[in-house]
Amino acid sequence: MTATIKAGGRAFIFDMDGTIVDNMAFHTKSWLAFFERRGQAIDGDEFFRATAGRQGHEIMRTYLGEHLTKEDTALLDAEKEELYRELYAPHLETVAGFEQFIAAAQEADVRLAVATAAPPANIVFTLDGLDLRRHFDAVVGAADVARGKPNPDVFLLAAERCGVPPEHCIVFEDAPLGVEAARRAGMRAVVLTTTLPAEAFAEFDNVILVARDFTELNIDALFASGAVATSPTEAE
């Protein structure tokens, strides 16, 4: 059921991979191994910048050919994601301060959502593996929208399900395509530098704060902010 949008509501919308968990290096490793099986050498840094936030089937068609059918990409996605889960399972944990931050947000009556390009199996792996799903008012993934980031679909649906207007939502992201998706959705963004440095996001006028992890964040300050800021430790 879609929630009724409340004028006074506020929401935090979290990307999952690279934001709730610091796992993008493992995703990159699994992609490199996946393409190596097919005789393709991929530059990891360049690949991340071009694809983080896009859905698996979009990436498959870009790198393996537009001729691939939906059934083809589904099988390839399953292979790649199994590789990723095998690699990351021993390291599964939240980014520093995340659980304390969302507990404080709930105390402040902020609605919480996850908006990710991840397939259902990876959402289960992460949110249920860490017993986090119970904290969220909405969880939106690749299976719920037709287009991945930088299209705004996943963030707009998360806001709708939370019952909060886009302008009262703050997105937490680690990738440029995700920040661009938030911009297109009319949402401010907080960047975590789990994967890329602050300068990788210099072009985005919707970024209100750049931080290393959730221990550096203050809820009231985030909602009051309309300007780009960098946390003191990140500026050092």
pLDDT at 236 over 80: no
Per-residue pLDDT at 53:
74
Q: Which segments of the chain belong to CATH 1.10.150.240?
A: 24-91
User: How much is the pTM?
Assistant: 0.85
Per-residue pLDDT at 231:
41
Exposed, middle or buried, 47 (CB in 10 Å: 0-12/13-18/19+)?
Answer: middle
Residue among 15, 77, 153, 174 flagged as catalytic: 15
pLDDT at 170 over 90: yes
pLDDT at 160 over 50: yes
The DSSP 8-state label assigned to residue 128 in this structure reads: I
Per-residue pLDDT at 8:
58
Q: Which segments of the chain belong to CATH 3.40.50.1000?
A: 11-23+93-235
What's the CATH code, domain 11-23+93-235? Answer: 3.40.50.1000
129 against 50, higher pLDDT: 129
H or E stretch including 188? Answer: strand 188-192
- CA nearest neighbour of 153 among 54, 11, 66, 223: 54
Is 15 a known active-site residue?
yes
The mean predicted confidence, pLDDT, of the chain is 90
What's the CATH code, domain 24-91? Answer: 1.10.150.240
For residue 213, the tally of other CB atoms under 10 A from its CB is 18
C-alpha distances (whole Å) from 193 to each of 51, 91, 156, 162 are: 17, 19, 24, 26
Per-residue pLDDT at 108:
96
